[in-house]
Amino acid sequence: MQEHEIDVVPGRCRICGDSAPVLRLTEFNLKVCEPCFLRFLERRVRRTIEKHGMIGEGDRVVLALSGGKDSAALLFALRRLGVVMGFELSALHFHLNMGDYSDRNLVVVEDQAKAAGVPLEVKRISDLGLQVRRVKGWHPCAVCGAIKRSLMNREAKRLGATVVATAHTLEDVLLFTFKNLFSRKFYVPQPVLPASGELSRKVKPLIYNHERMNLSYCRLKGVPVFEERCPEWTPRGHSFKDVLEHMEEVMPSSKLRLLLSLQEAIPAGGDLHEGEHTACESCGEPTSQSLCALCQLSNWFARRTDHDDSYNGV
């Protein structure tokens, strides 16, 4: 399914009353003009941050910036909010070593950080001997997720971050919850994971935002967005997204209501950091197993005798 954008139609803005092209936000039964839409999104992010105590004055926030529409929108929204709320912001990008695709991704990320005036740190997984590819029983997406997750923890510590922000959206969180429920795991991602031991607080300020709002925000602000599909993308892995879109078409605002209901029905467990309570035998980072995912993967790549550095996925 195509990434669908918000319709823009002639009308009257429900916020400022101007007659102008308005965006039809069916999820909120609202029509707003373009300037009001930008403020609407930023206010929503601020409310989420304040309601859940995600970020406070003096925090050092590191945003995981992928270059896609969601983290790009969050970069610009946080940059504005940082000024009024008094927190520092920097961005962290992982170059995922997937050939030219990752190089092109990095160019867009650098443009975004420059346009936002936010310092950017780039970490190349090739420097750690890592690649995103099928490993033993791991799907490439699982490898990628494990690498990003572990690196985010350790880079946050190295950069002295008090908060790590990711751009997980309403759709991301619902899909993750569905996958859990299908295997009888009753876990709904939370807006905030409190700091614990070595781990910084992790926050998802876009958890109640629809993806298409982020896309429109970037378009209206003229923010460059990396729109190439990941070379490992498969239609099957994303087909549940179509189910969500269909549900929203049949019943506007159902995605948000569903997430709020699931959060209420399935209380946050005590194990918010998903068992990352022991130290990895090799690197000492928090993990749930004897070796952390990053060390397991590093060992696997190091053992491969036919190791080939080029990426064949593109």
97, 131, 150, 166: which one binds ligand AMP (CB under 6 A): 166
23, 38, 55, 71: which one binds ligand AMP (CB under 6 A): 71
Which span sits near ligand AMP by CB under 6 A: 10-18, 160-168, 236-244, 272-280?
160-168
CB 163 within 8 A of CB 170: no
Q: How far is the CB of 8 from ligand AMP (least distance, A)?
A: 26
In residues, how long is the chain? Answer: 314
Q: Which two tokens stand for residue 261?
A: 């209901």
**Under rule CB under 6 A, residue 93 binds ligand AMP:** yes
Would you say 192 or 293 has its CB closer to Zn ion?
293
Q: Which two tokens stand for residue 251?
A: 């019943």
Residue 40 binding: pick among Zn ion, ligand AMP, none (C-beta 5-8 Å cut-off by kind):
none
**Under rule CB under 6 A, residue 226 binds ligand AMP:** no
Find residue 287's DSSP bridge partners. Answer: 278
Residue with tokens 């935002």: 209
Q: Which two tokens stand for residue 30?
A: 């609202």
Distance CA 101, CA 21 (A): 36
31, 69, 148, 210: which one binds ligand AMP (CB under 6 A): 148
Q: How far is the CB of 153 from Zn ion (least distance, A)?
A: 10
CB 35 within 8 A of CB 23: no
| Binding residues among 235-294 for Zn ion as defined by CB under 5 A | 280, 282-283, 285, 292
Q: Which two tokens stand for residue 78?
A: 């946080």
Which span sits near ligand AMP by CB under 6 A: 41-49, 75-83, 128-136, 166-174?
166-174
Residue with tokens 């795991």: 185
Distance CA 133, CA 244 (A): 28
Distance CA 33, CA 22 (A): 4
**Under rule CB under 5 A, residue 26 binds Zn ion:** no
64, 98, 156, 174: which one binds ligand AMP (CB under 6 A): 64
Residue 150 binding: pick among Zn ion, ligand AMP, none (C-beta 5-8 Å cut-off by kind):
none
Would you say 135 or 167 has its CB closer to ligand AMP?
167
- Return the sign of the alpha-carbon dihedral for residues 66, 72, 76, 81: negative
Calculate ∠ Cα 78-271-71, nearest 5°: 20
The residues binding Zn ion (CB under 5 A) are 280, 282-283, 285, 292, 295
The residues binding ligand AMP (CB under 6 A) are 64-66, 70-71, 92-94, 96, 145, 148, 166-168, 172
